[in-house]
């Protein structure tokens, strides 16, 4: 994974976090690699997936893992982070579940060339009650589905190409928050083993009949 990140972000400053390991089934509340701006330079760090605003005083009832592109600039929860704390979340793919009722069929969605890409995200620093240690959390922005995703789900994460990555860190450009070209992506059904966050192995992304 580190080799993929280095190829994707040759302009990163500083050494990568030692905690970065290959993941096949990342889940909310876990700490994952995120790229953010730090004193004018891109920095790779680890953050917890599930957004908690800095002004949250008590233990949060909600920690959104997604933010809608259509409202992220005006939402009371996300608008300050949208203006000041944007980030990139590197990935080789993501899961989505198809079906109106359980058992839903999980799909692994990725680029046809199997290369790494990034999600557009927002981050925030929160200080838990009674703790001196802040916690950095993030959320992934979602948008309308493209032609590939429509039969699977009614939303998809905002995926950025190389040009979009730098632009997103530099400015809050809502024009970047659109669906990725379906012609560059593919999806296949995978085992329901991905429904268990504790199951994090290569077989999670293998296609099934």
Residue 20 above 70 pLDDT? Answer: yes
Cβ atoms of residues 98 and 109 within 8 Å: no
Q: What tens digit of pLDDT does each residue of 44-65 get? A: 899 999 999 998 888 888 899 9
Provide the sign of the torsion angle of the four alpha carbons 122, 127, 128, 129, taken in this order: negative
Cβ atoms of residues 7 and 116 within 8 Å: yes
Cβ atoms of residues 69 and 82 within 8 Å: no
Percent of residues, the chain, with pLDDT higher than 90: 73
Q: Assign 105 to helix, strand or coil.
A: strand
- pLDDT, residue 17, reads 66
2-90+116-179: in CATH 2.40.50.180: no
In the chain, domain spans? 2-90+116-179
Please report which confidence band the pLDDT of residue 18 belongs to, taking 50, 70 and 90 as the band edges: low
Residue 14 above 60 pLDDT? Answer: no
- pLDDT, residue 10, reads 75
Q: What tens digit of pLDDT does each residue of 103-146 get? A: 899 999 999 999 999 999 999 999 888 788 999 999 999 999 99
Instruction: Tell me the two tokens of residue 92.
Output: 């080789």
Quote the pTM value: 0.93
Cβ atoms of residues 50 and 63 within 8 Å: yes
Q: Give 129's contacts (C-beta < 8 A, 6+ positions apart).
A: 57, 58, 59
Alpha helix ranges (H) inside 52-157 = 79-84
Report the alpha-carbon distance of residue 151 to residue 138 in Å, rounded: 28
Q: Assign 3 to helix, strand or coil.
A: helix
């Amino acid at each position: 994974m580190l080799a993929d990140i280095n190829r994707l972000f040759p302009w990163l400053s500083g050494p990568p976090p030692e905690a970065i390991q290959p993941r096949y089934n990342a889940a909310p509340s876990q700490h994952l690699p995120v790229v953010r701006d730090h004193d004018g330079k891109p920095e790779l760090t680890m953050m917890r997936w599930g957004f908690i605003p800095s002004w949250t005083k008590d233990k949060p009832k909600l920690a959104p893992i997604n933010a809608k592109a259509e409202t992220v600039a005006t939402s009371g929860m996300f608008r300050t982070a949208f203006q000041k704390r944007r980030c990139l979340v590197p990935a080789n793919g993501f899961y989505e579940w198809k079906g109106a009722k359980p058992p839903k069929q999980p799909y692994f969605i990725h680029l046809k060339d199997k290369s790494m890409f990034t999600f557009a995200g927002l981050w925030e620093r929160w200080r838990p009650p009674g703790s001196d240690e802040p916690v950095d959390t993030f959320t992934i922005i979602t948008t309308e589905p493209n032609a590939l995703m429509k039969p699977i789900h009614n939303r998809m994460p905002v995926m950025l190409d190389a040009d979009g990555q730098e632009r997103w860190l530099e400015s809050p450009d809502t024009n970047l928050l659109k669906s990725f070209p379906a012609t560059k992506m593919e999806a296949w059904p995978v085992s329901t083993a991905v429904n268990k966050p504790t199951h994090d192995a290569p077989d999670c992304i293998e296609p099934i009949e």
